[in-house]
Structure 1
Amino acid sequence: LALPMYLSGEIVGCFNRDNRAEGREDENLAAHHLLENLCAKASGALAIKWLLCREGIGPEKIDFIITCGEEACGDRYQRGGGGMAKAIGEMAGCFNASGFDLKNFCAAPASAVITAASLVASGIYENVVVVGGGSLSKLGMKFEGFLKDNTPILDDCLASMAFLISRNDYVSPVIRLDAIGKMPISAGTSDEKVYQHILIEPLEKIGLKITDIDKFAPELQNPEIMIHAGAGDVAQKNYLKIAGMAAQSGAIERKPEVAKAFMEKVGMPGFAPTQGHIPSAVPYLGHAIEAMKRGEIKRAMFLAKASLFLSRCTTLYDGVSFILERNPKAGKKTVNVGP
């Protein structure tokens, strides 16, 4: 019933299931489920503590926490019911905060950032943290290709992340809440339709073209892992689609050399571990903030997609996007974001 825990081949402990009377027969409270939840909680709390330490903010200043991880806490009567946000906040010492869990598969981090920005811009909260704990179930997810070649398994880290969304100080970069991209139910599943809704339409809404964006951040999985596992370079595939939409919209010429130069200018190599929500667009958020503060770029666009069909409840998938912009020092309805 207990999971053995090894260190260098030696058993150093074990992890038990819920052995209370009400949990003894509940598969959702088995040791492997509880260990997944604990790993998400502990890694998420570590991310928040590091964020607050680096930004010099006391945990008591945080008003609200939104988690965007892929765990599903709860017993057999309410599997996936939530509670991770407040559990992480408690562990990180954010005792004045409330919170909730936001679920949208790989697009949850971008969706959570948009939700947090909206809560701050509306005046409901002043400081909102978006946090995603690591996914134990996806640790070493692409291991088979590495074992076949007798090479070390590269996706061997439990990643987590946290972002602080706060009121506009007219210095920090801002989120354009007037240019949020969404993929409606009617959109279908073709790549062209997806990018029309989450790439073209948000830009048109504020009078911009694709070439007005300095950097695009789609799914940013590490290609050294994905290519070896047979899935190809995921980030590069996304940039090919963005370049295709740029050519189709007339923003760039329909020439291979022009598309290649465009991709090199607006793209980047994937660098995040393959933990579902972790590599989905937002890993570039901190880098974008620093680049804007240095005056190197003006705008970055974050595009995330979600495989909703994995729930077996629909054949659809989802897509969301938002634009981060260098602070114009104007009174627009914007909010700050910090890594």
Structure 2
Amino acid sequence: MTTLSHTPAPGLPPKWGLTLPLPGLTIDRHRFLVERLADLGYTDVWSAEGGGTDAFTPLATVAAWSPSLRIATGIVPVQTRGPAVLAQTAATLAQLAPGRLLLGLGASVPAHVTDINGIPFDEPYKRTRDVLRFVTRALRGEHIAGDFDTFSITGYRLPHPPRDPVKVILGALRPGMLRLGFREGDGAITNLLFPEDVPKILDAVGPQPPGKELVVKVFVCPTEDTDYAHRATRPFLAWILNREPYRKFHEWLGHGDLLRESHERWADGDADGAQKALPDEVVEKLFISGSPEECREKILRYHRPGVTTIQLYVSLPPETFVSRARVLDTLARLGPAAA
């Protein structure tokens, strides 16, 4: 086994979150896990929304099963729900978990907005900005009426705004959205980047006022079977890295040459070739694998001063699901409480 080393970043330790539901396990089978996460050192449960589970229902179950875990969306697309519905849903969740809700909003990608929902993916930056402005005001209990650039509101006020503040952050990949999240919201969440890319994100954000959040989502496949890990993760990586927002993100990060052949094959309609063209270096850095201990060392490389939360998306190999004890043991060895 390769021995890896890591020098912890100075400053406050980050929060650690786990994305649920775990792939391969439906949300109704997670109670045993949620009830133990705090003991394993995890502070948050995150959800996401694309073409599978919705973002909010898993968090409602977590709020019922745990009195302490922070619940967070990372992210909810701003185009697939109306602004008032987003505010209402967040306010309702906040009643279940007062002071423990973090609402992550974002533009998402056309495949999740237009392809499966039939909704135009128009002006993603402006739409995200407008929804952020509406939702933050609504959650403060303000009456909102008037024209935004991407929608108009006749008049709306939440009847029961949250008693405790709800943080609202943005899914952000490049400087404009990152700065918007910190300027008008409570921070940002970014993902699918190399550990050495984190300083560029921090530079784009600039000085971070106290209380703001910078969340880094890290994809993990804890197995020493490298061939399995690559087979399991290449299809997703090829798909997501060939979405325009992520293609532009990695060009900005300076990885255009590494991904050029994959982009060209995808553009030619060769999805299988686009997967094969992804360099092993890209696969291993964007969806890390190895023993749980090796994965944990790699996860810690994302912790830099200014990163407030490490959010894990964990794709467990099938053999881990033989027992609840094995699932918990693997997550314990990956997580913040591991020795």
TM-score range, shorter chain: under 0.3
Scaled by the length of structure 1, what TM-score is found?
Answer: 0.27
Which has the larger helix fraction? 2
